[in-house]
A and B are shown apart, each in its own frame.
Chain A
Amino acid sequence: MNSALIFGGLLALMLTGMPISIALGLTVLTFLFVMTTVPIEAVALKLFTGIESFEIMAIPFFILAGNFLTHGGVARRMIRFATTLVGHWYGGLGLAAVMACALFAAISGSSPATVVAIGSILLPAMVQAGYPKRFGAGVIATSGALGILIPPSIVMVLYAVATGGSVALDPTGHRVGSASVAQLFMAGVIPGLILAFLLGMTTFYRAWKGNYPRMAMATWLESLVAFRDSIWGLLLIVLVLGGIYTGLFTPTEAAAVSAVYAFVVAVFVYGDLKLADIPRVLLSSANMSAMILYIITNAVLFSFLMTSEQIPQSITAWATSSGIGQVEFLLFVNVLLLVAGNVMEPSSIVLITAPILFPVAVGLGVHPVHLGILMTVNMEVGLCHPPVGLNLYVASGIARMGITELTVAVWPWLLTMLGFLFVVTYVPELSLWLPRTLGMLY
């Protein structure tokens, strides 16, 4: 009864279009005032302690690092590098788009920004080379979402933060801790590569069937020059993963180091940014981080309410008693997240749903890291899922195509993504193998 009231209230407030953070906070306050005797002071205390955690500081740093490198110049370097490598195959520019999107998205950390940066350069080039516009728009709208899965990923940090404090018992009654940021980053590498490969395969197949133009094969020298040019941006991924894997730094430190590194690369190596641009980048990063941190503060309140009302526990009890297994539960999670992905942006979805889903999933024997990767892939699909994925909107602006036409355009790649989501959901080894092999997970 109470849970129905809470979720109903939250849903009603959210549908009025008010900021999600405000909807969360108001729901909690109203419920606590009206229905319970929980002292309001306890809530006030949560407001102060909500974001005083060290792990959360990784978020502003990663955003800052990404913003330094979210620049057309970096996008062009990635495109040139990708083109010299795969341009001579069928659908060369399309394959290059997938690769460039994957690289740029991983570095910039923003899917819509990737669609704009890569799309506004490659799409006209593809049209000029004789590709149908639909093909180009489809490739870029879907590949732009790859960045969420390839580390450094802010969504994964949010998952780790959101589930960090919760107590969960596995089916045998042992206590299970949440996944760490480092484990999640490592776990995301293989699914990220596979998804990029699958999107590339789809592109290749479509291009092969439609006999789209290929480019002249680049010489080794050209590849080498392009590689040398783009290596500085790519080293950011290596720096984060390598640093975390070797234990040189924690994810938060890795984020701080990558912000400094991105600054040096953007200003001194690439020269894309002038020193006078720095305040603007800082301000927009601060703006973005503060928005996410504000959602976190209110999501902490919300999960405090969930815990005090024992909602995850009662869902778990209900699920086990009615014989719902992992398979049905994960299917439900996928559907729920895909629906949510249509109306909200990834960080809000993860912050709201993860604290509720996590204890239930663990209670049914799902590995925390697996759930994290599963949710991340879901966010990715949700970004380019019709009718209202954010990437579709951004891509429709660049390609000057209506959403309906674009929906048709992304169909082959979207189908690939959904198939991949299914595999990730039911083959946990896909995400768990690498961190296990590296000894980061038992």
Chain B
Amino acid sequence: MSLSCSAILVGIPFLYPFFYQFNLTWAQELCIYMFVWMAKFGAAYGVRTGIHVGVDVIVNMLQPKIQKKVILFGLFCGAFFTFIVGTMGAKFIIGLYPTDQVSPDLELPRWIIFLCVPLGSYLMCFRFLQVAWNYIRTGELPHHDPGHVEGVVESTAAAKDLAAEELADNGGAR
């Protein structure tokens, strides 16, 4: 799944300027649909990586026991919401299926295009339950690090300095 996301994302920026040049409207439409698909499935992937952040100021101040309940409540709300959206989407698709509606340029059946909503949403629901299950069992939540930068620690001066500092800290503690 993750690979398909990448494949979809990689194609677009490279092809997009060309599409525009030759006014290939079908390709523009394809771009938009690929984006929507990427967004729906990417959102489910995001649950797994813990990138959907919330307001955790209050939660972090709670006592561990209550905190656990509140966090689980949040996760189950997420599963509940995505389940409802998925079901709404599924109903919508079922209504759309017999109508032969097609998209304006690609002439794809519209129900196929919109299939991403129930599929993505149900997957997201599953991910929420998975995260909740893991949290109950191990007490760990996926965590996204917003300040991660590649190729930073390789700076030798920084590494030396940090090492020296750590040494000093440890020495002080002893």
Contact = CB atoms under 8 A, between A and B. Distances in A.
Interface of A: 13-23, 25-26, 29, 40-41, 43-45, 47-48, 51-52, 54, 57, 60-61, 64, 70-73, 75-76, 110, 112-113, 115-117, 120-121, 123-125, 127-128, 253, 256-257, 259-260, 263, 272-273, 277-279, 282-283, 285-291, 293-294, 297, 342-345, 388, 390, 394, 397, 400
A1 to B, nearest CB: 24
20 contacts: A17-B56, A17-B71, A19-B78, A20-B54, A22-B77, A23-B77, A25-B85, A57-B31, A72-B153, A72-B155, A121-B155, A260-B14, A273-B150, A283-B2, A286-B42, A287-B42, A290-B38, A290-B39, A291-B52, A294-B52
B173 interface: no
A61 B150 CA distance: 19
B81 A279 contact: no
A396 to B, nearest CB: 11
B139 interface: no
B100 interface: no
B110 to A, nearest CB: 10
B152 A120 contact: yes
A286 B88 contact: no
Nearest to B162: A124
A407 B157 CA distance: 26
Contacts of B147: 112-113, 115-116, 394, 397
A51 B39 contact: yes
Contacts, number: 212
A256 B19 CA distance: 12
Interface in B1-38: 2-3, 5-6, 8-10, 12-14, 16-17, 20, 31-32, 35-36, 38
Nearest to B74: A18
> Which 4 pairs between the two chains have the least Cβ-Cβ distance?
A290-B42, A18-B74, A72-B151, A19-B52
B54 A70 contact: no
A287 B41 CA distance: 9
A41 B94 CA distance: 13
A427 B117 CA distance: 45
B13 A260 contact: yes
Interface string B50-61: 011111111100
B149 A71 contact: yes
B171 interface: no
A127 B81 CA distance: 50
Interface string B77-118: 110111011001101100000000000000000000010010
Contacts of B88: 40, 43-44, 47
A162 B114 CA distance: 23
Contacts of B84: 29
A426 B142 CA distance: 43
Contacts of A282: 5-6, 9-10
B154 A72 contact: yes
B149 A72 contact: yes
Interface residues of B, number: 69
Nearest to A273: B150
A290 B57 CA distance: 24
Given A16-B54, A17-B59, A22-B52, 7 more contacts: A22-B81, A44-B88, A51-B36, A57-B32, A71-B151, A75-B152, A394-B146
A40 B155 CA distance: 56
Main secondary structure of the interface of B (DSSP, over half): helix
Interface in B138-174: 146-155, 157-158, 160-162, 165
Nearest to B12: A256
A360 to B, nearest CB: 24
B129 interface: no
B73 interface: yes
A298 B162 CA distance: 43
Contact of A291 (B43, B117, B161): B43
B85 A278 contact: no
B77 A13 contact: yes
B13 A44 contact: no
Contacts of A113: 146-149
Given A73-B151, A112-B147, A113-B148, A44 B92 contact: yes
Nearest to A73: B151
Contacts of A259: 13
B131 to A, nearest CB: 11
B77 A117 contact: no
A48 B36 CA distance: 9
Nearest to A40: B88
Given A18-B74, A287-B46, A294-B39, A124 B158 contact: yes
A18 B82 CA distance: 13
A17 to B, nearest CB: 4
Given A13-B77, A23-B54, A64-B13, A76 B59 contact: no
A41 B56 CA distance: 33
B146 A390 contact: yes
A17 B81 contact: no
B56 to A, nearest CB: 5
